[in-house]
Chain A
Amino acid sequence: GQQLNQSPQSMFIQEGEDVSMNCTSSSIFNTWLWYKQDPGEGPVLLIALYKAGELTSNGRLTAQFGITRKDSFLNISASIPSDVGIYFCAGYNYGGSQGNLIFGKGTKLSVKP
């Protein structure tokens, strides 16, 4: 089946540093999404991208939909302790038997004050 390769698997950074993570696939997606999971909680949508080449910001977060539609990246600027958690990418093609929403395995972010 389809798989997403998300990297890095984990990051341990100092508060104030910028963070970059990415997601690649061998398949094309029409939508890329980034979710964040706080410790002990369910994932929450951060950013959704619907158009190849699209660059979208949400506060200190910036995400891009790759021009080939096979990749996406997420940047976090000036990290703070509450950025700690697991970040999941997801690729999506609407329709079909289950909407075809595929998750990456996650990037675990730790922030040292």
Chain B
Amino acid sequence: NAGVTQTPKFQVLKTGQSMTLQCAQDMNHEYMSWYRQDPGMGLRLIHYSVGAGITDQGEVPNGYNVSRSTTEDFPLRLLSAAPSQTSVYFCASSYGSRGPNTGELFFGEGSRLTVL
């Protein structure tokens, strides 16, 4: 049981490049989400999904795209990378079809992205 798996762990991009951060979970969780973590800013929600085919925006969605074609996978796409998107990105999942049932989220280990 691997939990939440994120790839890649580290990535360096040039401004304007696009890329996809992958997230997969093997716990059959309906709820999945993406956060970014910046120093002094805590965890900010980018996008979330309450099930396959259903996604919605969080607090900071601009510049990011998501899709949810299966229960297991929830990739995050950076359309045209900017230095302001330099951050640590966390994928998280939970039970519940309307949000995390109990508030407990299971986080991946993070993907550290640098945009030059």
Complex interface residues of chain B between 11 and 44 (CB less than 8 A to chain A): 31, 40-44
On whether the beta carbons of B103 and A31 are closer than 8 Å, the reply is yes
Given contacts A94-B98, A99-B98, A103-B42, contact A41 B110 (CB under 8 A): yes
Tell me the dominant secondary structure on chain B's binding face: loop
| Chain B nearest CB, measured from A34 CB (Å) | 11
Within 8 A of B (CB), among A61-104: 88, 90, 92, 94-101, 103-104
Given known A-B contacts A31-B103, A42-B110, A95-B99, A1 and B59 have beta carbons under 8 A apart: yes
- For chain B, the count of residues having a C-beta within 8 Å of the partner chain is 27
Contact of A101 (CB < 8 Å), options: B41, B56, B100, B109: B100
Q: How many residues of A contact B (CB 8 A)?
A: 28
Interface 0/1 of A10-37, CB less than 8 Å to B: 0000000000000000000001010000
Q: Which of B40, B105, B108, B110 has the most CB of A within 10 A?
A: B105
**Do most interface residues of chain A lie in helix, strand or loop, or is the interface mixed?**
loop
Question: Which 4 pairs across A and B sit closest by C-beta, in order of nearness?
Answer: A99-B99, A42-B107, A92-B103, A105-B42
Q: Which residues of B contact A45 (CB under 8 A)?
A: 104-105
B11: min CB distance to chain A, Å: 16
Pair B109/A100 contact, Cβ less than 8 Å: no
By the criterion CB–CB under 8 Å, are B43 and A43 in contact?
yes
Which residues does A use to contact B, with CB under 8 Å?
A: 1, 6, 9, 31, 33, 40-45, 48, 50, 88, 90, 92, 94-101, 103-106
Are B109 and A48 in contact (CB-based, < 8 A)? no
Residues from chain A with Cβ under 8 Å of B43 in the complex = 43, 88, 103
| Residue in A48, A95, A99 with the greatest tally of chain B CB atoms within 10 Å | A99
Within the complex, the shortest CB–CB distance from A67 to chain B, in Å, comes to 19
Q: Which of A42, A98, A106 contacts B109 (CB 8 A)?
A: A42
Residue on B with the closest CB to A49?
Answer: B103
Q: How many Å lie between the Cα of A96 and that of B103 in the bound state?
A: 13
Q: With CB as the reference atom, state the residue of chain B lying closest to A91.
A: B103
Residue B102 at the chain A interface, CB threshold 8 Å: yes
Say which residue of A33, A97, A105 sits within 8 Å of B40 (CB atoms). Answer: A105
Q: A43-B107, A48-B102 are in contact. Are A97 and B42 (CB under 8 A)?
A: no
